[in-house]
Amino acid sequence: MITAGKDGVYIDIQVQPRARRPGVRGIHGQRLRIAVAEPPEGGRANMATVQAVADLLNSPSKAVSLVAGATSRQKRLFVRGVGPDDALERIAAALGASGTI
- Determine the pLDDT at residue 81: 94
pLDDT of residue 94: 86
Percent above pLDDT 70 for the chain: 95
In this prediction, the residues of the chain whose per-residue pLDDT falls under 50 are 97-101
Amino acid at 11: I
In whole angstroms, how far apart are CA 10 and each of 17, 39, 42, 55? 21, 24, 24, 16
pTM of the model: 0.88
Residue 96 pLDDT: 82
Q: What local confidence, expressed as pLDDT, does residue 99 receive?
A: 47
Architecture of domain 2-94: 2-Layer Sandwich (3.30)
Domain ranges of the chain: 2-94
